Amino acid sequence: MPKPRLLNREEESLPLERELLVRMHDLMVKARVLEERLIQMYKQGHGYFWIGGPGEEAFNVPLGLLMKKGQGPAYDYLHAHYRQSATMMALGEEPIGAMRQMKNVVTDPYSGGRNFAGHFSKREWNIAPVSSPIEVQYAMAPGTALMQKRHGGDGITIVTGGDAGTAEGDFASCLVWSSRKGNELPVLIIVTNNKWGISTSAEGQHGETNVADRGKAFNMRTKTIDGNDPINAYLELQEAMEYVRKERKPFLMEAVVSRLYGHSSASGANMVGNEQDCLTTFEQRLEKHGILTRKEMDDLRNRYSEDMAAMARQVIQEPMPGPETIWNHIYAERK
């Protein structure tokens, strides 16, 4: 099992600056409130389907904070999956876009009302389009990484997927293509292990002790980490990203996370209650160490809740895409 690093049992002090801890907490709350708002919108009939990442904030927020944000091979590419709203929030994205996608209104900045919630796309920041297949991003990641290796800068490719998705051949493709001798690629290959594949537990899905161990056969640096601890996740990601940036070689990281509202709205989107909530445990530590008071944290949550409720009220008034728009963007046209 993953071991928390740098933290002793007594945890005399937290190993990150106060400002960063407060920032991470803020973003985790923001992302959680967003996901809960999206679920509520679904349940109120303001959207056909919800899928997202409540329970993965402790990992996804540090990931977004550590990314080198920008467009083109000098910057990091993210081939995300559909549980990464927290990464988008950490990169500085406004939550209203996710609500617009949930409501499939014409203003949806990621797909113009065409795709499910959580299916982000933002070329301006190298956010590759999220698609519903759980594996295709692993096949594409070596392509962006190859361009980055040639570019000569320190941009890296980050690809994420779930543990169940590693059963697909594209995960093996990613391991093979990013680790060929002399052609190693700067890819941070991430598996968020929530111990579920839709309704089937990990035990029924795959038998390896740690998913990360699969990288060892490819002479890849690997690590299984506790993704429910944002401080640990930040430090581990920082180290792994630094390795990939400098060495221009792949790193396979498995982050053990929780799935707090089930697979998607198809399984009800109800709080499960029996999994660790990374936000609750982080808040306990922040309070214990005097970083934030309970009241400050409650106020923050209430503020976000109110803001996002107002955003949702706005979004549901926005127009739907017109039927004639189905013909738009089948092909790109030269500008």
Partner 1 sequence: MANMAQAVRMALHYAEEHLGVTDIFGEDVGPPLGGVFTATQGLKTAWNTPLDERGIIGMAIGLAMAGGKPVAEIQFADYIFNTIDLLKVAGNTCWATNGDWNLPMVVKTPVGSGIRGSIYHSHSFDAMATHIPGWKIVIPSNPLDAYGLMISACQEINPVMYLEPKALLRIKGEERIPGEPDNDKLLSKMIDAPLGDRSQWKPQWPELEAYAVPIGKGKVVRAGSQVTVVSYGRTLPLCKKAADDLAAEGVDAEVIDMRTLWPYDWELIKGSVEKTGRVLYVNEDTEVTNFGEHLVRRTVEELFYKLMAPPRLLAGKFIPGIGLADALEMASVPQQGDITAAIRTLAGEQP
Count the neighbouring beta carbons within 10 Å of the beta carbon of residue 218. Answer: 18
Nearer to partner 1, 101 or 258 (CB): 101
3-state secondary structure string across 75-134: CCEEECCCCCHHHHHHHCCCCHHHHHHHCCCCCCCCCCCCCCCCCCCEHHHCECCCCCCC
**How near is the Cβ of 294 to partner 1 at its closest, in Å?**
41
**How near is the Cβ of 169 to partner 1 at its closest, in Å?**
6
Separation CA 94–CA 50 (nearest Å): 18
* Under 8 Å between Cβ of 163 and 191: yes
Separation CA 148–CA 195 (nearest Å): 32
Count the neighbouring beta carbons within 10 Å of the beta carbon of residue 222. Answer: 20
Nearer to partner 1, 4 or 321 (CB): 321
Exposure string over 29-59, b if 16+ CB within 10 A, otherwise e: bbbbbbbbbbbbbbeeebbeebbbbbbbbbb
**How near is the Cβ of 187 to partner 1 at its closest, in Å?**
10
* Strand pairing class (157-162; 77-79): parallel
Nearer to partner 1, 141 or 212 (CB): 141
Nearer to partner 1, 136 or 202 (CB): 136
Nearer to partner 1, 101 or 193 (CB): 101
* Strand pairing class (157-162; 187-193): parallel
**How near is the Cβ of 180 to partner 1 at its closest, in Å?**
7
Nearer to partner 1, 188 or 256 (CB): 188
Nearer to partner 1, 11 or 154 (CB): 154
**How near is the Cβ of 94 to partner 1 at its closest, in Å?**
16
Separation CA 213–CA 254 (nearest Å): 9
Nearer to partner 1, 124 or 203 (CB): 124
* Under 8 Å between Cβ of 13 and 289: yes
* Under 8 Å between Cβ of 55 and 81: no
Separation CA 45–CA 39 (nearest Å): 10
Judged by the rule CB under 8 A, the positions of this chain that interact with partner 1 are 72-73, 77, 108, 110-112, 114-115, 119, 121-123, 128-129, 131, 133, 136, 138-148, 157, 169-170, 173, 176-177, 180, 328-334
**How near is the Cβ of 254 to partner 1 at its closest, in Å?**
21
The DSSP 8-state label assigned to residue 226 in this structure reads E
* Strand pairing class (221-226; 251-256): parallel
**How near is the Cβ of 136 to partner 1 at its closest, in Å?**
5
**How near is the Cβ of 110 to partner 1 at its closest, in Å?**
7
